Amino acid sequence: VSGVSRGVLLIVGLGPGGPDHRTAAAVRAVMEAEVVVGYGPYVDQCADLLDPAQEVVRGAMGEEGARADEALDRAAAGAVVALVSSGDAGVYGMAARTLARAASLADPPRVDVVPGVTAALAAGALLGAPFADDFAVLSLSDLHLEWPVVERRLLGVASSGIALALYNPRSKARTWQLDRVLALLVQVRGAATAVALVHDAGREAEAIERATLGTIDPERVTMRTLLVVAGESGRDVGPWLVALREAAPPVDPAPLRAEAST
């Protein structure tokens, strides 16, 4: 026993944008923290909750490892720390990397994860209910993963016919990847498949664009866009895009029978 009082690290998902989509637990975690650590724009996202008595550590893009270490160090030294992320911290956020680092420490502080509303759910609600049937969440980023792996996963789920929520679809530096993804999706799902570009869900600049795989303009997609690809049970109902589970096409049993008899 060291005799030093132990702190705690709360890894907090702030939701997709404004205060309306923040959970009560996330608000409490930020307000009760002595130290708030986060990528600058995420700290800004909870600025309305911060008090001058709190210490705020703003990090830069690409410094995620250093941010995780700083948060863990401060908690290990006895502080109550909130490490803030947008959306849900466990969905392409800071949670996994921070927990992995914590697990490698000889004497880690207590770490809890506070869930948040992830971008796919905020975007889905704006569109209607496109994820009411089965759906998959993928990131198109090849920053930490080789591109062929991204493609293998995409093809695996695209051919299943379920709806797709595509995170990190395009950035200034990553442009050819989305072109490639759209070409693959047209082959597997058909050019008439409905897509939606949801920009800045829950933020001031929130905007929705509807298109199809054949008409989408990739230039409209940015790193603030969540790209939704309707599933085989996706339907337009009035202004809404919804998934009706009962509308999924039946499986043709012939190929299955042929396979069984070989």
Tally of CB atoms within 10 A around 197? 21
Instruction: State the sign of the Cα–Cα–Cα–Cα dihedral 11, 16, 20, 21.
Output: negative
For residue 178 the two structure tokens come to 């989305």
127/194 with CB nearer ligand SAM: 127
Stretch of residues binding ligand SAM (CB under 6 A), selected from 62-70, 72-80, 164-172, 245-253: 164-172
45 lies in the binding site for ligand SAM (CB under 6 A):
no
Q: Which is nearer to ligand SAM, 107 or 217 (CB)?
A: 217
Q: How many CB atoms lie within 10 A of CB 249?
A: 8
CB of 165 to ligand SAM, least distance (A): 9
Could you give the CA distance from residue 71 to residue 66 in angstroms, rounded to a whole number?
Answer: 9
Residues in 200-259 at the binding interface with ligand SAM, rule: CB under 6 A: 200-203, 223-226
Q: Which is nearer to ligand SAM, 81 or 95 (CB)?
A: 95
- For residue 165, how many C-alpha atoms fall within 13 Å in the half-sphere facing its CB? 23
> Least distance to ligand SAM from the beta carbon of 87, Å?
2
What does the DSSP 8-state code read for residue 219? G
Among 7, 36, 99, 118, interactor with ligand SAM by CB under 6 A: 118
Among 99, 119, 228, 229, binds ligand SAM (CB under 6 A): 119
Query: From the CB of 222, what's the least distance to ligand SAM, in Å?
Result: 8
Alpha-helix residue ranges (DSSP H) falling in the chain: 24-32, 40-45, 64-76, 95-103, 119-127, 147-158, 176-189, 253-261
The footprint of ligand SAM (CB under 6 A) covers 16-17, 85-88, 91-93, 118-119, 123, 167-169, 198, 200-203, 223-226
